Structure 1
Amino acid sequence: MTGNTKQTNKEVLLSIENKNVVSSYFGAMTFDQKAMRARLPKEVFTALQDTIRAGREITEEIAGVVAHGMKEWAMDNGATHYTHWFQPMTGSTAEKHDAFLSIDRDGTPIERFSGEQLIQGEPDASSFPSGGMRTTFEARGYTAWDPSSPAFLMKGGNCVTLCIPTVFISYNGEALDAKTPLLRSMNAVSKASLRLLETLGTKGVSRVKTFAGVEQEYFLIDKKFYSERPDLIMCGRTLLGAMPPKGQQLEDHYFGAIPDRVLEFMQEVEHELYLLGIPAKTRHNEVAPHQFEIAPLFEEANVATDHNLLIMEVMRKIAEKKGFALLLLEKPFAGINGSGKHNNWSIGTDTGVNLLDPGDTPEKNIQFLVFLVAVLKGVYKRADVLRMSISSIGNDHRLGANEAPPAVVTVFLGDLLERVLDAIESGKIDLKTEKQVLNLGLSQVPVVNKDYTDRNRTSPFAFTGNKFEFRAVGSSQAVSVPNMVLNTLMAEAVDDMADTIEAKIKAGKDRDSAILETLREEITATKAIRYPGDNYSDALQQAAKERGLPNLKNTPEALRVLESKDVQSVFVKYGVLSVEEIESRLNIRLERYVKGVDIEARTLQLMLKTLVIPDVSEYQGDIGSSFNNLLSASDEIGLSKAALKSQAGHYRTLAENLSLLIDLTSELDEVVEKLETLDGEFAKADYCADTILPFMLKVREVADRLELMVDRSRWQLPTYSEMLFEH
């Protein structure tokens, strides 16, 4: 794009709808390198790219030129406002829009956007969660431009807004967002990895990057059903609902033909994502009815995090437009597979080397083996922190179910790598590996390359060829926290291994011997975290006990990890989080958990009192009248006592269950009100986990029994059958 860029940009955007070649308009709504080259002087463009690559601070002079070019590009594409787009500790995104419009001293209106406005903004920080770091009257907060993530244009209503990815900090510099610690962790793992690479004798690397590819699972249901379910509106999941005769037991939805209406939704979502430079690659039906998945290509971890948040936002908008409700909570339907967000994570150099790629002969690839074992070391030492990173109300309902990894964190490597590590540990390093093929014996079908290992879909942290797949992340969660934790534990493990190797060299060993000896020691030390079996089985639970692996069953248990001085020290050591920032995040997550359960319990109370009990009572009245009429006419029509007894039994069962539900609803009122009398967030969180949620399940069992007894015309709530099988 050169020359008359204003006209060129408009022509590009006008022609997008008619183009089937995605590459021709990919990133048209982002201020990416192509747009920068067209809008910025060559020397400024080069200086900006060099500064970003080196991780140096942008000068005001460069920022001023970039701001002008960015503003001109945005306005040419219809933007009238800009916003610093950031990620407060709410699990979502935030934005405050400012117009480009300014008034000159002589009263002349003019569009202006300065380098200072690009670099820094000042949203009110008083109403965002701070976990006690800031009081209500301490309102000042700052957003600061993150140039490593490209600015983009978002369409909403009839307007276009320039969105500038930023971090969000307090007046005193504390991180009030999820992105700042992620960026810090990326720097920490880079610094540690550069040191280890130097120890291994690797030259020419100036930066080590972490990458993520985030598979996003979700449900779509018709908006008309969603709008009639207070639980879905308020809580994101159904608090009541009897299982239909058919669920997912035939496994006929997975990878099945995508319904036309859903495919139309997917195509429009992908179109908007491509405009935003988000490389959506895969779409398919997931296991549960009305469950689907979208997966992008790998990107640097901070960009992948931004893009995943944008994917969720774009899907919400398109779903609304298409008459769907998008359900992102981890377990929207009890008894049906929940949704995860498989976080594929890898680490590589700025020279293009994936440090987790085993190559054709992994047993000889020392660099790969050292970084592989560093991952094992980090996960083994910090399994409880990794579990904490994905704890939430929604994920508590999902973890340990048939489709999700359990609360125990283990690592799956596969047969080949298990044999390689066992051979190194035992000193038998003459193991040889070859690429395997599958010959199906069919002349028309080519030979199929066989991967080094099968997949273990039950593993929470599985090696999948040249990366690790962290499968326990919840579908509604921002991936900034798990990636921040992964980077930090990796930095610690890498540093520890470098320390050990360097100490052995200093003690007189040659480098190769020092590396191999360190590998042997760490392979032995981390053996407990490797688990090749079925993670859903009771055997895993027993193995966790025997191996001393943490088994944190719910969010309150997991969050207690953040109170550990040892855990706090590692985040502080690597400059990822201060003690105050850790404590603030603990307070915020506890508060969100307690408030979330309280909202669910009160929503259940509302539904029972205004929908379920009135519906069942009305139906009971109909059945009672019918039975009385039948009783009066029984002699006349010659109805046997046995027949009368059967009908009386049905009426009695209905009445007994309704009476039980009324009593349980009254008890639920008392259980919920007691929450307010407790002191301390952990006391409240434990009460939610141990008392309120189990009692809600007890109530649900009775309500769901009644649903299956009541005339459908009397039952106001849309049923599972309708929501999951009607398009």
Structure 2
Amino acid sequence: MYEKVSIPEIFGMNVFNDSMMRDHLPKHVYEELKKTIERGEMLNSSIADIIANAMKDWAIERGATHYTHWFQPMTGITAEKHDSFLAPPVNGRAIMEFSGKELIKGESDASSFPSGGLRATFEARGYTAWDCTSPAFLREDAGGVTLYIPTAFCSYTGEALDKKTPLLRSMEAVSNQAMRILRLFGNTTAKKISVYAGAEQEYFLIDRELYNKRKDLIFTGRTLFGAAPPKGQELDDHYFGSIKERIACFMHELNVELWKLGVSAKTQHNEVAPAQHELAPIFSDCNTATDHNQLIMEAMKRIASHHGLACLLHEKPFAGVNGSGKHNNWSMGTDDGQNLLDPGKTPHENAQFLIFLTAIIKGVDQYADILRVSAASHGNDHRLGAAEAPPAIISIFLGDQLQDIFDQIEHGEATSSLQGGKMRVGVNTLPYLNRDATDRNRTSPLAFTGNKFEFRMPPSSGSISGPNFVFNTIVADALKEFADQLEKAEDFNEAVHDLIRDTYIAHKRIIFDGNGYSEEWKQEAARRGLPNISNTVDAIPALITDKAISLFERHHVLSRLELHSRAEINYEAYIKQINIEAKTMIDIASKQIRPAVLKYAGSVAQSLAAIKSVGGDTSVAEELLQEINENIVQFHKALKHLEEVAEQAQLLQGSSRSQAVFCRDYVFEAMQALRVPADALEMLVDEDVWPFPTYGELLYNI
């Protein structure tokens, strides 16, 4: 039943946000905490007990019985351990307490999370530290109400074991370097630069009963077998189409929960593939946006079950139709309200904007391989480079207006900016439209879209922390070089012009506004010397080059040890994911497909014999039986081969990289080989006999 809601009344009602803090904290404590949040200053520990007590009282008023330090380990999902507010009873009466110490620091078993060799199994201690820049919130579900406290997660020896810590470090790095540039341009009011992000989340919704009949979806998140349905996305009729009522009910409940959590869910629509949809929030600061995206994914999975649905966040749950990505919109602005990527009406005169834009161009070209690995995952390998997602080659799309300005600067002075003007649609009753100064390019991995950059490569199931902390760091590095140079300049204006021109000339190879899907672009990119890293295994080494280590250590984002651990974690994740998929394929092939096909072949043989006994034409039955036999023989051989290489992968000794290479080159290829005859058999076997739901049922039975 549709529930009417008032967004202003419910928005943020479950968040210990600025309004709640002002209402529940003494004025001096509120001001101290705000100073910490807004200026990035150290938290005054003397006020921690007051904050904790106020937070506890607010939570208990709303029905909370437990609290948890909510963190983001290197598993790619979030983690939580719940403790009640119950203190040792006094005279048999329950006492509810929550101290500043409990708010600021928690302890977890670090040995049970991926550490990439940072921690031995017997070295278990890990700490969670309160991140006061991301507000605490309440989660309501059938289990009750729990206070969630966003935290960073580190080892006993201080290394980052999570995705939040490097993000916070990188935000500080880009703020420090951007402030140096702003001061040179005469800005004396800004005290801090914030990075803003907004992640467009794509996902699939399918019927849960059908989902429960597919082992591959349950264990791996994607279909490992499946013949193409009669209709896919050829007609483009699902994209922006009318939203089905069942899906609309899901979206409504999702929106309400997210609004209560302060997540500004804004846009929802059907995506290109059947059963595919998208949700996009309004921008927020990068740290909060990352936390919010985790909340969005968790809420999608949970709320889908309320409507008899299953939410699939895998990048490629179905072969043959578009997969899912997560466009990460990125910008930066001052605490006095200035968007540093807003070109204004005359961007050719906006030297400050052009400096920041040029720094991004330089950073992306110089560290394209590191940016590429930030979007790498086993699931994303299925979509990057296909004609549904950006190519694996990193490039930047600027658009006609900015491209024209840089062309002018390269050959002298920029004296004008292209303007969009008016566009008449051609119908008298329709108004004139303001035409943008440039078109868009959907094939670009990194596109400037008016006052922000849109990074289109990140995987749909992953955290946006990685892409953002890498992007923050490479921009900070370019800004540092610029500030070092400009601070020594005798003629600032001339130095700015020369710096923009020289940097653009040195790095313009990264600019591309054509068809990123074309073969010609691959050839042109190779001629320009741009890396074309097609898969995760080849992308990971970029994390531990001397260039990468120097970059991240220079800005105190990640140490050499932390980078090596992340590379190891990425290899291990790839190996484990391939291994799970291979074992799942073997299980399905052995226990479901092969018995079903043999049983059906037996029934066809019986029918053939019956037809022959009455002198009928057996050619159809004979041909069908022959096709089944040929494919089941090929299927059986491919299954045996997969079993062999999967076992070899388990026994393989050597580095994680060598094991990952083996999984990619042999296990994954064997999986692909097994799928071919299996999908052919699906088209030969009676659908009533086929052991699990088909693509047609999964994609259209909503």
Structure 1: distance between partners of 2:657 and 2:638? 26
The one-letter amino acid paired with 2:222 is R
TM-score, normalised with respect to structure 1: 0.95
The one of 116, 129, 140 aligned to 2:114: 129
The one of 672, 685, 696 aligned to 1:710: 685
Structure 2: distance between partners of 1:204 and 1:111? 44
Query: Cα offset for 1:433?
Result: 3.2
Structure 2: distance between partners of 1:570 and 1:106? 59
Cα contact 2:404–2:418 (8 A) shared by 1: no
Aligned partner of 2:419 in structure 1 is 434
Structure 2: distance between partners of 1:252 and 1:225? 23
Query: Cα offset for 1:103?
Result: 1.5
1:332 aligns with 2:307: no
The one of 556, 559, 575 aligned to 1:578: 559
- 1:188-224 CA-to-partner distances (Å, cap 9, x unmatched) read 0000111122233333221111000010000000001
Query: Cα offset for 1:136?
Result: 1.3
Cα contact 1:360–1:435 (8 A) shared by 2: no
Structure 1: distance between partners of 2:89 and 2:22? 30
Instruction: List aligned pairs for 1:472-487, cutoff 5 A.
Output: 472-487=457-472
1:661 aligns with 2:635: yes
The one of 359, 362, 367 aligned to 1:374: 359
- Identity percentage of aligned residues: 49
The one-letter amino acid paired with 1:689 is R
1:567 aligns with 2:561: no
Query: Cα offset for 1:674?
Result: 1.1
Structure 1 window deviating more from structure 2 (58-67 vs 301-310): it is: 58-67
Instruction: List aligned pairs for 1:308-327, cutoff 5 A.
Output: 308-327=293-312
1:598 aligns with 2:579: yes
Query: Cα offset for 1:647?
Result: 3.5
The one-letter amino acid paired with 2:468 is N
- 1:377-423 CA-to-partner distances (Å, cap 9, x unmatched) read 01000110011001111000011122111111111111111111111
The one of 247, 250, 254 aligned to 1:269: 254
The one of 228, 231, 238 aligned to 1:243: 228
Structure 2: distance between partners of 1:699 and 1:609? 12
Aligned partner of 1:11 in structure 2 is none
Structure 1: distance between partners of 2:101 and 2:12? 26
The one-letter amino acid paired with 1:397 is H
Aligned partner of 2:646 in structure 1 is 672
Query: Cα offset for 1:226?
Result: 0.6
Structure 2: distance between partners of 1:645 and 1:103? 82
The one-letter amino acid paired with 2:689 is R
Aligned partner of 1:527 in structure 2 is 508
Aligned partner of 1:462 in structure 2 is 447
The one of 672, 696, 699 aligned to 2:674: 699
The one-letter amino acid paired with 2:573 is R
- 1:569-616 CA-to-partner distances (Å, cap 9, x unmatched) read 110110000111111111111101001000001100011001111111
- 1:131 aligned counterpart, secondary structure: coil
Structure 2: distance between partners of 1:433 and 1:246? 44
The one of 651, 659, 664 aligned to 2:625: 651
The one-letter amino acid paired with 1:525 is A
1:388 aligns with 2:378: no
Query: Cα offset for 1:275?
Result: 0.5
The one of 10, 22, 37 aligned to 2:7: 22
Aligned partner of 1:3 in structure 2 is none
1:407 aligns with 2:392: yes
1:686 aligns with 2:661: yes
Query: Cα offset for 1:680?
Result: 1.5
Structure 2: distance between partners of 1:257 and 1:105? 60
How many residues are matched? 700
The one-letter amino acid paired with 1:129 is P
Cα contact 2:227–2:695 (8 A) shared by 1: yes
Instruction: List aligned pairs for 1:25-424, cutoff 5 A.
Output: 25-103=10-88, 108-424=93-409
Cα contact 2:77–2:294 (8 A) shared by 1: yes
Cα contact 2:346–2:416 (8 A) shared by 1: no
- 1:123 aligned counterpart, secondary structure: strand
Structure 2: distance between partners of 1:458 and 1:185? 28
Aligned partner of 1:445 in structure 2 is 430
The one-letter amino acid paired with 2:208 is K
The one-letter amino acid paired with 1:223 is R
Query: Cα offset for 1:105?
Result: 6.4
Structure 1 window deviating more from structure 2 (573-582 vs 35-44): it is: 35-44
Structure 1: distance between partners of 2:571 and 2:41? 36
Query: Cα offset for 1:691?
Result: 1.6
Structure 1 window deviating more from structure 2 (95-104 vs 297-306): it is: 95-104
1:722 aligns with 2:697: yes
The one-letter amino acid paired with 1:356 is L
The one of 514, 526, 530 aligned to 1:545: 526
TM-score, normalised with respect to structure 2: 0.98
Structure 1: distance between partners of 2:94 and 2:22? 29
Cα contact 2:32–2:44 (8 A) shared by 1: no
Cα contact 1:554–1:689 (8 A) shared by 2: no
Query: Cα offset for 1:631?
Result: 2.0
Structure 1 window deviating more from structure 2 (52-61 vs 602-611): it is: 52-61
The one-letter amino acid paired with 1:691 is Y
Structure 1: distance between partners of 2:481 and 2:92? 63
Instruction: List aligned pairs for 1:1-20, cutoff 5 A.
Output: 20=5
- 1:714 aligned counterpart, secondary structure: coil
Query: Cα offset for 1:170?
Result: 1.0
- 1:272-305 CA-to-partner distances (Å, cap 9, x unmatched) read 0010010000000000000000000000000000
The one-letter amino acid paired with 2:547 is D
Structure 2: distance between partners of 1:127 and 1:59? 32
Cα contact 1:398–1:404 (8 A) shared by 2: yes
1:622 aligns with 2:603: yes
- 1:713 aligned counterpart, secondary structure: coil
- 1:664-700 CA-to-partner distances (Å, cap 9, x unmatched) read 1111111111112322111111111112112211110
Query: Cα offset for 1:104?
Result: 5.4
Structure 1: distance between partners of 2:504 and 2:107? 49
Structure 2: distance between partners of 1:276 and 1:647? 61
Structure 2: distance between partners of 1:563 and 1:56? 31
Query: Cα offset for 1:491?
Result: 0.5
Aligned partner of 1:9 in structure 2 is none
- 1:122 aligned counterpart, secondary structure: strand
Structure 1: distance between partners of 2:577 and 2:404? 46
Structure 2: distance between partners of 1:265 and 1:464? 30
Cα contact 2:36–2:42 (8 A) shared by 1: yes
Structure 1: distance between partners of 2:92 and 2:618? 90
Structure 1 window deviating more from structure 2 (468-477 vs 46-55): it is: 46-55
Query: Cα offset for 1:51?
Result: 2.1
The one-letter amino acid paired with 2:519 is D
Gap runs ≥5 in structure 2:
none
The one of 489, 492, 497 aligned to 1:516: 497
RMSD over equivalenced CA pairs, Å: 1.3
Structure 1: distance between partners of 2:148 and 2:123? 26
Cα contact 1:141–1:169 (8 A) shared by 2: yes
The one-letter amino acid paired with 2:525 is A
